[in-house]
Structure 1
């Protein structure tokens, strides 16, 4: 039985990856420090014979007993609320955390897949975004802590590949959604759905003409799984190329939830990208991958998940105090 370490295992994507690898017959070791992850995302695996969990901060030395075949590094704040609230930790997990896990992969002779992001493209001047586009990133803006953490992560990963011959893979993840997202984490889908469930007006930042492309979590996980097992070492976009404006998407949510809310507009946050659409030609070519889940179907499944949350979860604020978790 092959053994895989998944960091950020209690997060949205990390927990779905745990499920996928267990279903494929792997022994999964999950790792998380619960800064942004949620224990409930892993409760269904608590007694599974092929799952074990280590509570640990990957910015500190990472030790795992026994053989490792694969490492998937998904430990990182991923929403604006998180990385603007804990900017130092965000930079550390992308730099120190990645360094620690690359060192572990080298010691274990394991293949490692690094979770990068479409944010490495910044506010793009090329549309749609291809993997050979270098990006338009403000290094000193408030979002720079996340963008640059991920860009450094890619650089050190390729350095380990070139200098040490380490088997590495890099996935650039575009907007992904589905069950287990945190309802009020600042990203557009849970934000809109949370407002609809609470009977609040839907808030659009800016004029609503900025675009996003939303990929359902099952499609995202399939792309990541195929990339890990491929022979391709350079970054690959995994996302849904169907682009939609935020205004049109808000109208879709109002229709889906059968609510009567209005759309209200607020100023656009500094550095918020105006366009986001992946070119997935490379993923189609080398992975034979493209998304299959229609947005209407995926949004209905996601909304049904949010409707099942408790009232306490529905009204919980994500602006929590991270102070006890942070080592500056």
Structure 2
């Protein structure tokens, strides 16, 4: 592989999306610095990259000020606990990563004159009263609820990103990422797809919070990585919604996974979590117009690839 002169920092690069992004950037010929403190990321996600030319691992908590010697052209800021299990286990760490951590990474971007892309989230919309959610929707967020540490961390991160742009002229972009799934998710991370796959592979009933009629819009990780790369390479600041417009009820997601694993379609029910959104689907017309992007992977195809990966991962770890 011939390396080009572009050097890219990916914070949270050992995470689910971050590791796929590092792999993609290396495949495109860029030099990549992966920064992670491994609070939720996994060494196994990047183990195959450690011998790649142009790949560098930096064990770093972005909450602490840090430098990356040498030039940087682009910074993808993905560092943050992202699943409910993680950010409720690490509430203060989540808030500090979104606030002090984002400040530190923006300061680095300013010092290096690098383009900075914030991986924000659909959680900034809270439990939305407008459907689907366009970028102009200001949200319905409970600032003191159990999900608030993640919601407010990302809302602050968006605010400080634009503050750096206005105050210093820092070149920035904001991606609002909607539900993403695929290989390298953790089975115990609390999100619907890995939860259901874990239950199916163990032959257990599917656990449903609420009625199961609440909806999710699922985007396969390779498509999300494509979108992040396109936004970084564009001149646009955003925010830009990135996700799938294919909306599925949670019960239907369970049915799809049952069909593909052969697990009987049996359910257990628990109350819906506080502030858990009933419906969530992005309005992605801006991404289509500005980036020429829309997801290319169908949900059944993506689910099949994810199940296959989990079967292999579980087999190697037992």
TM-score between the two structures when normalised by the length of structure 2: 0.97
Other-structure match for 1:64: 68
Other-structure match for 1:34: 38
Other-structure match for 1:146: 150
Deviation at 1:150, TM superposition (A): 0.3
Measure the CA separation in 2 of the matches of 1:8 and 1:211. Answer: 28
| Structure 2 counterparts to residues 115-134 of structure 1, below 5 A | 115-134=119-138
| Structure 2 counterparts to residues 84-123 of structure 1, below 5 A | 84-123=88-127
Contact 1:18 1:28 in 2 (8 A): yes
* CA offset digits 1:47-83 (Å, max 9, x no partner): 1111010001000012100000000100000000000
3-state DSSP of counterpart to 1:131:
coil
Contact 1:123 1:137 in 2 (8 A): yes
Measure the CA separation in 1 of the matches of 2:221 and 2:269. Answer: 28
Contact 1:102 1:112 in 2 (8 A): yes
Other-structure match for 2:22: 18
Deviation at 1:202, TM superposition (A): 0.3
3-state DSSP of counterpart to 1:199:
coil
How many aligned residue pairs are there? 314
Unaligned runs of 5+ in 2: none
RMSD of equivalent CA atoms: 1.0
Contact 2:183 2:309 in 1 (8 A): yes
Contact 1:208 1:247 in 2 (8 A): yes
Other-structure match for 2:222: 218
Deviation at 1:264, TM superposition (A): 1.5
Measure the CA separation in 2 of the matches of 1:310 and 1:262. Answer: 23
Contact 1:250 1:263 in 2 (8 A): no
Contact 1:206 1:265 in 2 (8 A): yes
* CA offset digits 1:73-104 (Å, max 9, x no partner): 00000000000011000000000000000000
Deviation at 1:14, TM superposition (A): 0.4
Measure the CA separation in 1 of the matches of 2:167 and 2:317. Answer: 47
Other-structure match for 2:210: 206
Unaligned runs of 5+ in 1: 315-328
Contact 2:207 2:269 in 1 (8 A): yes
Alignment partner for residue 293 of structure 1, among 281, 297, 301? 297
Q: 88-97 or 267-276, which moves further after superposition?
A: 267-276
Measure the CA separation in 1 of the matches of 2:265 and 2:310. Answer: 18
| 2:210 equivalent to 1:236 | no
Measure the CA separation in 2 of the matches of 1:129 and 1:297. Answer: 25
Measure the CA separation in 2 of the matches of 1:310 and 1:24. Answer: 30
Measure the CA separation in 2 of the matches of 1:312 and 1:91. Answer: 35
| 2:13 equivalent to 1:9 | yes
Deviation at 1:258, TM superposition (A): 1.0
Other-structure match for 1:192: 196
Measure the CA separation in 1 of the matches of 2:315 and 2:10. Answer: 31
